Amino acid sequence: MSKCSIGSCSNNSLNSNNLDDEQNKCILHSKKDKYKKSIDKLFNHSLVIYITENLTDKNEIDLIDIFFPEDFNYQIIFNLSNHITFRNCTFNKQNLDIKLDLNNCKKIHFISCEFNKKWLHFNIYDICYSECNFHDCIIFYKDYNNQPNKINMVCIQRSNIYQKFDLDFSFDNVELCEVSMLDLSDTVFHEKVEIKQCKINNANLINTKFLGLCDFYKTIFIDDPFFYKTTFNDISVFTESIFNKNVNFQYTTFSKLVLFRKTQFKGSINLIDSLIQEEANFLDIKNENQKKLEVNNIKNRETARIIKHSFEKQDNIIEANKFYALEMEKRGEELKFLKTPFEWLVFKTHKISSNHSQDWVLTLFWIINITFIYGLVWIQNTLVGSILTFFIPLISIMGLSILVSLLQTKLKTIILIVIILALYPLYGLLSNDYQLIEFSKNINPFSIMTGNYKLNFGLFIYKILIAYLIYQLVISIRQNTRRR
């Protein structure tokens, strides 16, 4: 009897007189649809011999070109060794799904294999697929009663998944499943992908294509996830996910809606090289302290602009204005005094006077403070009054220093109001203007047109400053209340 046509196999072929290529193979390597009668024992016996011949000193099993029959119990193989490799194998199952329960098997690797039925994973520790085709669903489960809630590695490289991919552990009152490494590089997912409520230490999505909906709901990314040339052709969901460190969507394409609603960015987010073709939702995104994103959470000005633009498209102007302020902050980091001194000066003035038209209390602080100073310097003519008015600019400078140091705190508004209230009795004491009569005249930039004032250079500069600040006050209030 002739040997199997597979070069590495020493088993006898099924029929040496038939030129059919499948019949020139042994029971392990041929298709089983033509040989359904009494092949189980023959297959099992041949498989045991084949495994024995391929078993290495390291107790590693390497199975090559095996065409598994329907109704075969794969668990027999998985229980034989801690390290198994399948090369160019075909997996079939009639009526039932294929179930992998790898309690004893630590590492399993599939290379250039075909999976024709649903593929269920139980208690996976370390599994890798390379250049494989999945024609049905892939699902991962955990036995929470008997096994630790951890997967060392899930690796699917250069493969095609034509049905649903399910790595979803969103069970009630169950601790998140921890995945040390999730590598989906160069893989195409043709249908829905669910990677939900996982704690992923390392994630590589390089040249990964998601053609269907991709859902990372409540997933925690511990280290920097690597999104590089990743493509989301359908809706992508990162709702309530957590990025513990920096995330860079480098050359990543979002063809449809992308949801970052209530997502937490403990590091920085970088969208400068990403392409958002339709709409993005960044509502209620937070930083490490569960607050709104701050300057250090935005990698660059383009990222702030993209988020601002997404809110503008949704007519959410109030949120858009907040990211406009962050965009301006990043612009300020780009400006250098020696290169563009005039632009730098205008930018810093805008920042100090109103926080880029976002803080009306700050603008009110400057209006009242500068008017107090002007009223004392230009109205008081006595020597004592002139000496005492020296302390008002000093107090103003001190107030500015406190303001700058507390600008990003919740107490900022309270501090500014306290400073304003403290300046009032001092101004009244020095100017005898407790009713703020002169103060009211001065603060009106058009008072020179209606009063008996003579315009001098000092008054001219003061009126310009007050007109600018009042304009900024109106704009700042509108930025927090206006509709588009």
Cβ-defined contacts of 325-332 (< 8 Å, 24+): 325/355, 325/356, 325/357, 325/358, 326/293, 326/294, 326/295, 326/298, 327/301, 328/356, 329/295, 329/298, 329/304, 329/356, 330/295, 330/298, 330/300, 330/301, 330/304, 331/301
Neighbours of 456 (CB within 10 A): 10
What sign has the CA pseudo-torsion 374, 379, 383, 389? Answer: negative
Exposed (0-12), middle (13-18) or buried (19+): which is 99, by Cβ within 10 Å? middle
User: How far does CA 126 lie from the centroid of its chain?
Assistant: 26
- The token duo for 50 is 């084949």
Which pLDDT belongs to residue 234? Answer: 94
Neighbours of 327 (CB within 10 A): 23
Angstrom distances, CA of residue 259 to CA of 200, 243, 263: 19, 14, 9
- Residues 263, 236 contacting (CB under 8 angstroms): no
Which pLDDT belongs to residue 81? Answer: 76
Which pLDDT belongs to residue 17? Answer: 46
Across the 484 residues of the chain, what is the mean pLDDT of every consecutive 10-residue run?
63 53 61 53 63 66 81 74 85 64 70 89 84 90 64 92 85 70 95 91 95 93 92 95 94 94 93 91 88 86 91 85 85 81 82 78 80 68 49 55 54 70 70 71 64 65 82 79 54
Phi, psi values for residue 140, rounded to 5°: -115, 135
- The token duo for 341 is 């001194």
The rounded distance, in Å, linking the Cα atoms of 433 and 166 is 74
- Residues 324, 316 contacting (CB under 8 angstroms): no
Which pLDDT belongs to residue 37? Answer: 47
What sign has the CA pseudo-torsion 42, 44, 48, 51? Answer: positive
- The token duo for 354 is 């109103």
Q: Comparing C-alpha atoms, which of 215, 359, 357, 334 is closest to residue 272?
A: 334
User: How far does CA 23 lie from the centroid of its chain?
Assistant: 54
Residues 6+ apart with CB under 8 A from 128: 107, 108, 109, 110, 153, 155, 156, 157
Which pLDDT belongs to residue 314? Answer: 86
- Residues 281, 303 contacting (CB under 8 angstroms): no
Which pLDDT belongs to residue 164? Answer: 93
Exposed (0-12), middle (13-18) or buried (19+): which is 13, by Cβ within 10 Å? buried
Which pLDDT belongs to residue 385? Answer: 47
Residues 6+ apart with CB under 8 A from 321: 357, 358, 479, 480
Sheet holding 253-254, edge to edge: 90-91, 114-115, 133-134, 160-161, 188-189, 209-210, 231-232, 253-254, 275-276
Which pLDDT belongs to residue 452? Answer: 60
DSSP 219: -
- Residues 376, 385 contacting (CB under 8 angstroms): yes
The rounded distance, in Å, linking the Cα atoms of 128 and 154 is 6
